[in-house]
C-alpha cells in the first residue's frame, strides 16, 4: 500500500498534518492544554467539561462519516470494519465518556473554548485523512483480515479500548454520586488496574489504541493521529504526574507517569 496517493489535495493535507506534529509537540512541552485540573481563565471562556469534550471530539465523527461515504470502496467488507472501529472509538470517547463525567453542578466551568476550537483542526483533518484513505485510496482485499498486521493491530486496539474504559471508570468513581449531588469535587488518589503502576493509564491506553489502529489500517493517516496524540498526551502525562506528587504527600513513589516500569 502506498501512503502517498498521488492525489494532490490528499497528499498536501497529509504532508501538512504530519509536519504539524513537531511544532505541536514543542508547544505542548511549555503549554499544557487548559482543561480539567489545568483549567485557566487566561485563554477565553470555559465550558462545562462534558460539552467541551463532546464539541471537541464531534468533528472526528462527522468528518469521518462524511468523507467515508464519498469513497468508492465504502461498501467493501474491510473498510466497513474500520468504519465500525472508528464509530465505536468515538462513541466512547466523544459521547459516553463525557456524559458519564461526575462534574458537580454549580462548579466553575473548566474546559477552555480555546481547546475546543484548536481541537477542531486535529479532529477534522484526522477524520478526513483516515476516512478518505480507508474508503477510497486503499485497496483492502478480504485477505487483509488474515494479515498479521491487521490481526495484531485489532487485538492491540480492542485491548486498549477495554483498558481505557476500565481506567475511566476507576477515575470517575473516585467521586460518589452523593458528593456530586452536593456540589463537591474532591481529587483523590486512584487505585486498581494500571493505576497500580501509572498515573495516567487512560493516556497510555489511548496511545496504545492508536498504535493498534495504525497497524491494522497500515496508513499514514493513522500515524498522523498517533503522532498528534503523543505530542499532546506525553507532556500532559508528565505534568499530571508532577501535580499528583505535589498535591498528595503520600502519593505512591513507584508509579510512573505514562509507561509501566519505564517512564
> Do 140 and 79 contact (CB within 8 A), yes or no?
yes
Per-residue pLDDT of 104-138, as tens digits, reads 765 566 677 877 888 888 899 999 999 999 999 99
| Cα dihedral value 47, 98, 101, 263, nearest 10 | -100
Q: Which DSSP string do the residues of 5-26 spell out, in sequence order?
A: -S-HHHHHHHHHHHHHHHHHHH
Would you state the pLDDT for residue 107?
Answer: 59
- 161-211: per-residue pLDDT in tens? 999 999 999 998 888 887 777 777 778 999 999 999 999 999 999 999 999
Predicted pLDDT of residue 103: 76
**Residue 258: pLDDT over 60:** yes
- Any domain includes 79: yes
CA distance 131 to 230: 21
pLDDT tens digit sequence for 22-46: 999 999 888 887 777 776 666 667 7
252 falls within a domain: no
More confident residue, 99 or 230: 230
Bigger pLDDT: 16 or 179? 16
Q: Tell whether 256 is covered by a domain.
A: no
pLDDT at 127: 95
Alpha-helical (H) ranges within the chain are 8-30, 49-68, 77-91, 97-99, 113-132, 148-172, 177-181, 201-217, 220-247
3-state DSSP assignment of residue 71: coil
Question: What pLDDT score does 23 carry?
Answer: 93
For 233-256, how does the pLDDT look when each residue is reduced to its tens digit (9 = 90+)?
999 999 999 999 999 999 998 999
Instruction: Answer whether residue 2 is part of any domain.
Output: no
Whether 3 maps to a domain, the answer reads no
Q: Provide the number of structural domains found in the chain.
A: 1
* Domain span at 174: 10-247
Residue 237 lies in a domain: yes
Amino acid at each position: 500500500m502506498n501512503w502517498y496517493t498521488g492525489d494532490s489535495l490528499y497528499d498536501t493535507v497529509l504532508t501538512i498534518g504530519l509536519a504539524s506534529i513537531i511544532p505541536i509537540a514543542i508547544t505542548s512541552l511549555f503549554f499544557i492544554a487548559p482543561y480539567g485540573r489545568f483549567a485557566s481563565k487566561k485563554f477565553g471562556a470555559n465550558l462545562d467539561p462534558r460539552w467541551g469534550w463532546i464539541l471537541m471530539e464531534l468533528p472526528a465523527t462527522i468528518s469521518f462519516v462524511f468523507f467515508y461515504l464519498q469513497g468508492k470502496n465504502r461498501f467493501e467488507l474491510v473498510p466497513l470494519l474500520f468504519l465500525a472501529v472508528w464509530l465505536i472509538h468515538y462513541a466512547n470517547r466523544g459521547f459516553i465518556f463525557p456524559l458519564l463525567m461526575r462534574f458537580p453542578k454549580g462548579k466553575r466551568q473548566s474546559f477552555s473554548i480555546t481547546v475546543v476550537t484548536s481541537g477542531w483542526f486535529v479532529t477534522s483533518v484526522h477524520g478526513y485523512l483516515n476516512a478518505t484513505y480507508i474508503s477510497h485510496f486503499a485497496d483492502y482485499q478480504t485477505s487483509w483480515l488474515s494479515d498479521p498486521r491487521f490481526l495484531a493491530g485489532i487485538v492491540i486496539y480492542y485491548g486498549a479500548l477495554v483498558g481505557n474504559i476500565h481506567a475511566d471508570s476507576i477515575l470517575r468513581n473516585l467521586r460518589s454520586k452523593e458528593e456530586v449531588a452536593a456540589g463537591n469535587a474532591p481529587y483523590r488518589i486512584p487505585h486498581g488496574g494500571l493505576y497500580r503502576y501509572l498515573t495516567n493509564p487512560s493516556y497510555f491506553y489511548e496511545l496504545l489504541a492508536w498504535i493498534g489502529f495504525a497497524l491494522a489500517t497500515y496508513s499514514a493517516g493513522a500515524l498522523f493521529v498517533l503522532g498528534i496524540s503523543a505530542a499532546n498526551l506525553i507532556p500532559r502525562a508528565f505534568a499530571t504526574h508532577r501535580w499528583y506528587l505535589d498535591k498528595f504527600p503520600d502519593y505512591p513513589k513507584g508509579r510512573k507517569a505514562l509507561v509501566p516500569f519505564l517512564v
